[in-house]
């Protein structure tokens, strides 16, 4: 296949960026999207131009670092996969492809397609953990957990923190991410002690990082490569409301 790429190039966080056009010739349909970018980088490097900067690590849809907008869609046209799992057979010969970084004030562009997702880490630091002593590892099945709760916790824990929900949301909200990271703990017995403090802390950090509010567009769950449901946002909202009415502060202490 021969393709035309329009790629966002921005040399540094404070520099002005723009789209550059590159021809991607002889692309095999069996290539992954990142393999295609690697091939394009080899060619433009040989021509003396700096290669396109993009993030990747596992290339298996596990780490979430490969997030980018492809033709205006987070991770590209195929659902329930990340950009590294997208194959070029999803496109046709002669297609034009627009590639740009995730757009959100809380995700500043570092270079080209690379954004700083540290804001998500700080939301986790605000409560996405269990700090109380839970004892040593128990024997299997020693702690009874209803299967529906275990399934819901597992589904929420599938979040890879790629930021696609933020990029897809018209408000640049990270509530789906925050809700998933809170829910996978709140469904388990070990997470109950700090459940409401966790909700207060993580929602407060979410807002302080400059993410927008959730207005139920549902675009986040459509873009999520792991298919995480907006139902978790409802659960987080209930927990946050209970924390607020109970006077539980973001730091985990009452007034």
DSSP 84: G
Looking at residue 206, its pLDDT comes to 98
- What length does the chain have? 255
Looking at residue 250, its pLDDT comes to 58
User: pTM of the entire structure?
Assistant: 0.92
Identify whether 255 is part of a domain. no
Identify whether 160 is part of a domain. yes
Strands (E), the chain: 3-9, 18-24, 69-70, 73-74, 96-100, 109-111, 114-115
Looking at residue 144, its pLDDT comes to 86
105 & 124 share domain? no
Q: Which of 56, 84, 111 is at the close of a domain?
A: 111
Residue 27 has pLDDT above 80, yes or no: yes
Maximum pairwise Cα distance, the chain: 65
Identify whether 250 is part of a domain. no
Looking at residue 253, its pLDDT comes to 40
98 & 156 share domain? no
Alpha-carbon distance values, 86 to 34, 37, 58, 195, 221 (Å): 8, 12, 14, 37, 18
Alpha-carbon distance values, 153 to 90, 98, 136, 180, 187 (Å): 32, 36, 20, 9, 6
107 & 127 share domain? no
- Mean pLDDT is lowest, of 13-17, 61-65, 153-157, 247-251, for 247-251
What average pLDDT does this structure show over 163-172? Answer: 98
127 & 193 share domain? yes
135 & 239 share domain? yes
Q: Which of 56, 88, 111 is at the close of a domain?
A: 111
197 & 164 share domain? yes
196 & 163 share domain? yes
The residue written with tokens 């590159």 in the block is 22
Identify whether 251 is part of a domain. no
45 & 151 share domain? no
Q: What is the per-residue pLDDT across 43-75, written as a single tens digit (0 to 9) for each?
A: 999 999 999 999 999 999 999 999 999 999 999
Residue 176 has pLDDT above 80, yes or no: yes
In our burial notation (b when 16+ CB lie closer than 10 A, e otherwise), range 74-103 reads bbbebeebbbbbbbbeebeeebebebbbbe
What average pLDDT does this structure show over 228-234? Answer: 97
Residue 252 has pLDDT above 50, yes or no: no
Q: What is the pLDDT of the chain when averaged over all its residues?
A: 94
189 & 87 share domain? no
How many structural domains are present in the chain?
2
- Mean pLDDT is lowest, of 121-125, 154-158, 162-166, 188-192, for 188-192
Structure tokens at 30: 């069996």
Domain that holds residue 209: 117-245
153 & 78 share domain? no
Looking at residue 212, its pLDDT comes to 97
97 & 123 share domain? no
Looking at residue 248, its pLDDT comes to 80
Q: What is the per-residue pLDDT across 107-146, written as a single tens digit (0 to 9) for each?
A: 999 999 999 999 999 999 999 999 887 778 777 778 888 9
Question: Residue 98 is part of a domain; what is its CATH number?
Answer: 3.10.20.30
Strand partners, 111: 114
64 & 7 share domain? yes
Query: What is the band of 255 on the pLDDT scale with cuts at 50, 70, 90?
Result: very low
- Using CB atoms within 10 A of its CB, is residue 122 exposed (0-12), middle (13-18) or buried (19+)? middle
Q: Which of 49, 81, 111 is at the close of a domain?
A: 111
What average pLDDT does this structure show over 147-156? Answer: 95
Identify whether 252 is part of a domain. no
What average pLDDT does this structure show over 166-194? Answer: 96
Identify whether 254 is part of a domain. no
């Amino acid at each position: 296949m021969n393709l035309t790429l329009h790629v966002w190039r921005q040399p540094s966080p404070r520099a002005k960026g723009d789209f550059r056009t590159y021809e991607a010739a002889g692309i095999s349909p069996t290539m992954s999207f990142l393999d295609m970018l690697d091939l394009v980088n080899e060619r433009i490097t040989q021509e003396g131009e700096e290669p396109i900067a993009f993030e990747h690590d596992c290339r298996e849809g596990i780490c979430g670092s490969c997030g980018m907008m492809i033709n205006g869609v987070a991770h590209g046209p195929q659902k329930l996969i990340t950009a590294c799992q997208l194959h070029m057979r999803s496109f046709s010969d002669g297609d034009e492809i627009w590639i740009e970084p995730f757009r959100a004030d809380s995700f500043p562009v570092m270079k080209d397609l690379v954004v700083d997702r540290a804001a998500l880490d700080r939301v986790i630091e605000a409560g996405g953990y269990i700090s109380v002593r839970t004892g040593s590892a128990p024997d299997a099945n020693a702690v009874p957990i209803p299967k529906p709760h275990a399934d819901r916790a597992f589904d929420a824990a599938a979040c890879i923190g790629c930021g696609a929900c933020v990029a897809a949301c018209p408000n640049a909200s990270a509530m789906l991410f925050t809700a998933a990271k809170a829910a996978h703990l709140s469904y388990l017995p070990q997470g109950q002690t700090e459940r409401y403090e966790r909700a207060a802390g993580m929602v407060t950090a979410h807002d302080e990082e400059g993410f927008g509010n959730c207005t139920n567009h549902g675009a986040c769950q459509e873009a999520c490569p792991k298919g995480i449901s907006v139902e978790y946002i409802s659960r987080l909202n209930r927990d946050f409301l209970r924390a607020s009415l109970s006077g539980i502060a973001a730091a985990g202490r009452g007034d």
